[in-house]
A and B are shown apart, each in its own frame.
Chain A
Amino acid sequence: MNTTDTASSLEASRKPRLFRVPRNVHWGLLGLLGPVTAFLGIFFLMPLVIMAIFSLLEPGLYGGVVWSFYADNFGRILGWANGPIEEFDIVYLRILMRSFRIALITVALTLLVCYPVAFWVSRLPPRRRNFCLFLITLPFFASLIVRLYAWVLILRPSGFLNQLLSTLGAIREPIELIYTETAVLIGLVYIMVPFMFLPLYASIEKLDRQLIDASYDLGAGRIATFRRVILPLTMPGIMGGAILVFIPTLGNFIVPSLLGGAKVLMIGNLVEQQFLYARNWPFGAALAMLIMSVVLALLMLYVRTTLKRRSPRGTAAKPRTKDRAEGLT
């Protein structure tokens, strides 16, 4: 009892100072955060605001915008005809759905590739583990375009893969690989693997091996242990990796344009086309806004569900000290 009394009186005597100190900190904080905030405000938020405004303006006949409110950009995404030559067509929605599908499959495939590898790497002795981590990040050192052209060389009809397969006698005629959805998926999985691997590895490495032993010990087989212990405990890594892969994949336009040709368009290509070739900035902006809001909505959903799941069900710190005292008697 005595100790708690002195502790609380100490705290009380310190209180006035606690009030004074933050005032000084406040200025320092402002000095530290101010420039960053201004920088982000100008170079990150402003373009977004401009795009948001553009998406609601009428496209000019020869590029540029006409400053009047115009909701048809979004209408056009949903399929309404734009101008006399078009008919109602959900082509954009279809591309959007395809982009989502491709992004989801990419997430699933990178997860499938990375999960076992991350497990394996986390069990290596430290030196080899670090070497493997270095290998995973190695692709970042080479240009993305160069790496994707390498895939063009591999996948095209006269490419390495077809030559290999025909020398082995597995195929007679070259199989059509490039400019298919498969090629796009291969490329996307290839560039996204590190983004999935690193968060996944971080959470798998943290996983206490003794918990797996405990699960076996309590009668759970391999599958039950994976489902009940390993998966839930590495879920933060899975979700982190999924988000890091899903978002850039959804907006990616380099891979589909190099490996998908004109056949496998994704939403990113559409945006690129609108801005660079069609010179229809408002429509491009509307597409970009749509992607962004969908992604944001999904993220918020995720954050809310995990927050709800993680909130402690019992009571917090106070009763704990009481129980500890009980345990001692």
Chain B
Amino acid sequence: MKPSSATAPVVEIRRATKRFRTPEGQTVHALAGIDLSVNPNEFVTLLGPSGCGKTTLLRTISGFEALDDGSIHIQGRAMNHIPPHSRPVNTVFQNYALFPHLSVGDNVGYGLAVRKVPRREREMRVGEALEMVGMNGMQQRSPGQLSGGQQQRVALARAIVNRPALLLLDEPLSALDRHLRQTMQRELKSLQSELGIAFVFVTHDQEEALTMSDRIVVLNGGHIQQEGSPSEIYNRPVNTFVAEFIGESNRFQGMLEPFDGQFSRLRLEDGDTLTLMSPASGAADALHVMLRPEQFCVHKPTEAAEEYASLCGRLAQKAFVGRDMEITLETASGRPIKAALRGHDSRTLAERNVGDEVTLWYATSAPHVIAA
């Protein structure tokens, strides 16, 4: 191995463009100039609403779709004219796509058999791969005799047995029930770090994306909206789309008032104000500001109390969802504000009724200014 290969990206995608003609004669820009690289041993998640181009991007990497423009390099090799079966990439399909006429062992050994790996080595590697997904000893079963979760594991084993440079997973967990999905999320993550294979994982479940990924790529309309670590994406969304798409958020839009030495205030269209600790841009522009529901509290903290500001309103809705009390507050101007409170705050609110006046506090450093 060359010394550089440890740090060189496994996949490098430049200005990837893909257009589809729909039967109605329109053109869909499924990929509109995507730049993305994936490093070795990285868990990258493609996240976005339905139709944003996630599957298309995976299929161009695996070779099932040809790019209209741009390039894809895998391990430094240009892939534009390399057919799917010659790419060092394997895919875990959404509904598993196990071969129904082959046993579990033959399914897992398919890639090895095609590459003429000798039988004994094949059996050994199939056993190892099944062992990794906790399915060893089931070689003789037919896929029809497996549960959904087991089929999922076999599909995984069938892909990793080939030791690909990159594993592509297109919503592999969406067909599983919630409990099994969480189990598989944990297993997938540990499998990935154990194998040291780069994963590109597609989901439209943001929670899944946040818990599993090293890096999240948020797509919309064939464009990358933002890429970054889960906490970056969650806490510092660069635009309103990402802010709205990931997690719950309260979005405020208003004109910035001049900095008064300690705070600046955002005057909202309907008369409310939001207090911010000195924002980076001093310009008196129209600004978007985001506050997450969990950034509110009911009891004003005693420490650094001067750094907190409040919003008042009537309690419009409340719902106890286990760990959190989720409420909607309606300010005097009728603006709804979502808040999620826990612990002492949650218990306090449990005693309030819908219609009561409630004051919510937030740290003035909490509101996140969105660039555009």
Contact = CB atoms under 8 A, between A and B. Distances in A.
Contact of A327 (B101, B140, B180): B180
Contacts of B183: 328
Nearest to A324: B147
A229 B93 contact: no
A102 B99 CA distance: 36
Nearest to B168: A217
Interface string A206-222: 00101101111111110
A101 interface: no
A299 interface: no
B23 A216 contact: no
Nearest to B109: A218
A314 to B, nearest CB: 4
Contacts of B100: 211, 233
A224 B97 CA distance: 17
A77 B270 CA distance: 104
B180 A328 contact: yes
B147 A211 contact: no
Contact of A314 (B64, B95, B141, B159): B141
Contact of A218 (B101, B103, B145, B162): B162
Q: Which of A213, A224, A232 has the most CB of B within 10 A?
A: A213
A84 interface: no
Interface residues of B, number: 40
B162 A219 contact: yes
B23 A219 contact: no
A313 B85 CA distance: 30
B140 A218 contact: no
B158 A218 contact: yes
Contact of B97 (A214, A228, A233): A214
Interface in A210-266: 210-211, 213-221, 224, 228-229, 232-233
A328 B149 contact: yes
Contact of B110 (A215, A221, A316, A324): A215
B80 to A, nearest CB: 17
A208 B97 contact: yes
A210 B85 contact: no
A232 B142 CA distance: 15
B114 interface: yes
A105 B110 CA distance: 33
A229 B102 CA distance: 9
Nearest to B158: A218
Given A232-B101, A313-B103, A327 B145 contact: no
Interface in B39-90: 62-64, 83-86, 89-90
A217 B169 CA distance: 12
B91 interface: yes
A214 B91 contact: yes
A305 to B, nearest CB: 15
B97 A313 contact: no
A328 B179 contact: yes
B115 interface: yes
A256 B191 CA distance: 67
B161 to A, nearest CB: 9
A312 B145 contact: yes
Interface in B120-144: 138, 140-142
Most chain A Cβ neighbours within 10 Å, of B89, B91, B110: B110
A320 B97 contact: no
A313 B142 contact: yes
A323 interface: yes
Contacts of A219: 85-86, 111, 114-115, 162
Given A211-B97, A217-B90, A327 B115 contact: no
Given A219-B111, A219-B114, A323 B147 contact: yes
A127 to B, nearest CB: 11
Interface in A277-329: 312-316, 320, 323-324, 327-328
A125 B86 CA distance: 30
Given A213-B93, A232-B101, A221 B85 contact: yes
A229 B162 CA distance: 18
A220 B97 CA distance: 15
Given A229-B99, A320-B145, A327-B153, 18 more contacts: A210-B97, A213-B64, A216-B64, A217-B91, A218-B159, A219-B86, A219-B111, A219-B114, A219-B115, A220-B111, A228-B110, A312-B145, A313-B140, A313-B142, A314-B138, A314-B141, A320-B147, A327-B147
Interface of A: 125, 208, 210-211, 213-221, 224, 228-229, 232-233, 312-316, 320, 323-324, 327-328
The 9 closest A-B CB pairs, nearest first, are A218-B111, A214-B97, A324-B147, A314-B141, A216-B84, A210-B97, A220-B114, A327-B149, A217-B91
